[in-house]
Structure 1
Amino acid sequence: MDRWTADDIPDQSGRTFIVTGANSGLGYVTTRELARRGAHVILAVRDEARGAQAVEKLRAEQPEARLEVRRLDLSDLDSVSAFAKGVIADGTRVDVLVNNAGIMMPPRSLTAQGFELQFGVNHLGHFALTGLLLDTLTASGDGRVVTVSSALHRHGSIHWDNLDGGRRYIPFKFYAQSKFANILFGLELDRRLRVGRASVRSLLSHPGYAATNLQSTGPTGLLNRILKLTNRFLATDAETGALSQLYAATHPDAKSGRFIGPAVRGAAKGSPTVVQPVKGALDHATAERLWSLSEELTGVRFQLASAT
C-alpha cells in the first residue's frame, strides 16, 4: 500500500455516511474529509448542541457541505433504537456506518441498561446500531461498516465473569476489553456476511496513538495527567489518526475483514496499511460467544447465520 492521504479519497457524491462521535477528534476529521469529497454525513452525537457547533465550524470552511446532526447516546440502548428507527423511517439510504465514538478509562460507571460504560458504549452500543441498520446498509448495494478499535486491544480479553466490573475494575483493562471486543465483532461480522453472501463489507481500523479529547475526558487523577503528557510528546494529531478509518470507509479496494492501521513500528503513526490483530482476537469460538452474549444483552439479533 503506497502512502495514502486524505487527498486520495475518491469522490463520495451520492453516498451517505453515519459517523458516531462526529463532533470532535477523529470523528470530526472523518466528517470533514468525507464532506470535502461530496458525501452526505450524518453526525451521530450525544450532545446535539455540540454537533451543531461542529457543523457551523465545518460549513465556515465548506459552505456547501451536506451535513446533518442526529442525537445518538450509545450508553442508552433506547437512544440507539430511536436513532436507527428515525433513519429508517426517513427512508435515508446509508452507505457507510463508521463506528467511531468511544470512551476511554473513566472511573467505573454503568450505562442506562446497567452495563459497564466502556463495554456498553464502545462495543454494545455499536453492535446494536450495526444490527439495526444492517438492512439499510445492505440496500445500498455497496455498504460498509467500519469499526474503530485501538492498538490497546492487544492487552484485552473478555472478562466473562466480571463484565460490569463489579468485582474488580481497572480502567485500562476494561478499555482494552472493549477494544478487543470491537475486533471480535468486526471479524465475526465479516464471516457472517460472507456466509450470507451479503454485499456489505465489515472493516476494522485503529488510529495509532492520536491526541484527542478521548484521553482527557475519561481518565481522572494521575492517569489523566500521564495521558496529557504522552499526548503532548508521543501522539500524532487527529488528522493523521483519522486516515485509517477514512481509508477503510472509502478506498475502493479495501477488503472486508481487513484491519487498517498506521504503517510504522510501534503502531503509533504513519500511512494506513493492513495490520494484524492480536492472535486471540482471531479465535472463532470467542467471537461467537461474544456475539451470542451481545445479542442477548442488547436484544438486537442479526439476520445472519453463524460461520460455523
Structure 2
Amino acid sequence: MSSAVRPQPWDVHRLPSAEGRTFLVTGGNAGIGYFVAEQLAGTGATVVLGSRDAAKADTAMASIRSRVPRADVRHLRLDLSNLSSLEASARALDLDRLDAVVCNAGVLLDQSPRRETGDGHELMFATNHLGHFALIARLAPLLAATPASRVVTTGSFVAKSARLDFADLRSTRDYRPKRTYARSKLAQMLFAFELDRRLRALGSTTLSVVNHPGGALDSLTPARPPLHVRTTGQRLRGLPAGVFVQGKQAAAWPAVRAVLDPSVRGGQLWGPRVLGLRGEPRLEPVRGPLADIEAAARLWTASAELTGVDPDFAA
C-alpha cells in the first residue's frame, strides 16, 4: 500500500475546483453522505445522489441547491439491499465518465431480530458490503474508462476490532446486531483494500481509497431543515461531547479529501486527526484486521459467490 506517501496541506474549507467531474455518493440523501454530497457540489462537480427514496433525495437536492448556487445535483434510484436491481441502476446513470464513487450508504441495526433482504442475506452485511461490492462490479467498465477515477469506501473505526467468521458471513447462527454491523464495515474496508491491490496489479489508473468518519452526532451537526432540524436544547446538550466527537458535516471531511486530494494514493486510509474521532482528515496506518491480505482475498471470493458478480477492471 502507498500509505508512506506524504500528504499535501489540505484546507477542508477551501476545496479545489472539480468542475467537469462527476461523483456518485451512495446514501447521499441523509447523514454523513448528505454532507459529502453538499461539499462536493460546492466544487463545481456534478454530484449524483444514490438513494432508494426519491422524496428524500429531492429534499436533499433542494437543500444543497439552497446552499450552493447553481449546484449540479441529480438522483439515481439505488437500492443496495436488492442485488438484482443494481445492473439497471448502473445503466440508468447514463454517463460517459464517472470520476469517483463514494460507497457511503449503510444500515445500522442495534436490536434483534435478524432481518433479511429479498435475496436471503442478512440486511446489514448485504447493504453495507455485498451491495457495494456488486455496485462496483456493475460500474467497473465506466470507472476503468475514466482516467484517474476513484472508489472511496467509508468504513468505521469499529471495524478495527472486528473479525470475520467465514463459516457464517451472513450471521445465520449467532446474530448479534452490533457485532454484525462491525463485521459488515470490516468487510467493506477489506474489499476496498483488496480492490486496490488488484487495480495496482493491472496497472490501472483507478484508485481505491478507504476512509472512516470517526464519531458523529446529530446534536453537533448543523441544521439543514427540513432534512435535519436541530433545536437549541439539542445543540447545548451536545456541546460537552464535542470534546471527543463531531458533527456529520466534519465527519464527511475524510471522504471528501479521499475524492479530491491529488496527493491521495490507492490503498490509503483516511480518518479524523484527533484520536481517530474528530478533527480534520489525516492519513492513518493500515494494521490489524484491516491489513489481513489473506482474509481480504478470501472475502472477495466469497462475495463474488454470494452476489454472482466479480468486479473486473481488466475487461
TM-score (norm 2): 0.86
Structure 1 residue 8, shift from structure 2 partner: 3.2
Q: Alignment partner of 1:44: what SS?
A: strand
From the superposition, tell whether residues 95 and 304 of structure 1 become closer, same or farther in structure 2 (CA, over 3 Å). Answer: closer
1:119-138 equivalences under 5 Å are: 119-138=125-144
Bigger mean CA deviation after superposition, 138-147 or 103-112: 103-112
Aligned-residue identity in percent: 38
1:22 matches 2:31 = no
User: In the alignment, which residue of structure 2 is the partner of 1:66?
Assistant: 72
- State the Cα deviation string for residues 112-170 of structure 1 (Å, max 9, x = none): 21111111111100011111111111111110000000000012111222222221111
User: In the alignment, which residue of structure 1 is the partner of 2:228?
Assistant: none
User: In the alignment, which residue of structure 2 is the partner of 1:93?
Assistant: 97
Structure 1 residue 277, shift from structure 2 partner: 3.5
From the superposition, tell whether residues 188 and 231 of structure 1 become closer, same or farther in structure 2 (CA, over 3 Å). Answer: farther
Structure 1 residue 11, shift from structure 2 partner: 0.3
1:117-196 equivalences under 5 Å are: 117-196=123-202
1:291 matches 2:300 = yes
User: In the alignment, which residue of structure 1 is the partner of 2:213?
Assistant: 207
Aligned residues: 287
Letter in 2 for 1:241: A
Q: Is contact 1:153–1:278 with CA below 8 Å preserved after alignment?
A: no
- State the Cα deviation string for residues 43-86 of structure 1 (Å, max 9, x = none): 00021110001111111222411010111011110222221122
Structure 1 residue 211, shift from structure 2 partner: 1.7
Q: Is contact 1:5–1:243 with CA below 8 Å preserved after alignment?
A: no
Q: Is contact 2:254–2:281 with CA below 8 Å preserved after alignment?
A: yes
* RMSD, aligned CA: 1.9
1:231 & 1:203 partners in 2: Cα distance? 32
- State the Cα deviation string for residues 67-111 of structure 1 (Å, max 9, x = none): 101110111102222211222xx2342110000011113432112
1:28 & 1:48 partners in 2: Cα distance? 14
Q: Alignment partner of 2:304: what SS?
A: helix
2:311 & 2:128 partners in 1: Cα distance? 18
Corresponding residue to 1:104 among 108, 111, 114: 108
Q: Is contact 1:26–1:212 with CA below 8 Å preserved after alignment?
A: no
Structure 1 residue 280, shift from structure 2 partner: 2.2
Q: Which runs of 4+ in 1 moved over 3 A?
A: 1-5, 229-232
Structure 1 residue 253, shift from structure 2 partner: 0.5
From the superposition, tell whether residues 185 and 212 of structure 1 become closer, same or farther in structure 2 (CA, over 3 Å). Answer: farther
Letter in 2 for 1:301: D
- State the Cα deviation string for residues 144-199 of structure 1 (Å, max 9, x = none): 00000000001211122222222111111111101111121111001000000001
Q: Alignment partner of 1:69: what SS?
A: strand
- State the Cα deviation string for residues 189-246 of structure 1 (Å, max 9, x = none): 0100000000100000000011259xxxxxxxxxxxxxxx999835310111000000
Q: Is contact 2:162–2:179 with CA below 8 Å preserved after alignment?
A: yes
1:117 & 1:3 partners in 2: Cα distance? 39
Corresponding residue to 1:197 among 193, 196, 203: 203
In the alignment, structure 1 segments of 5+ residues that lack a partner are 214-228
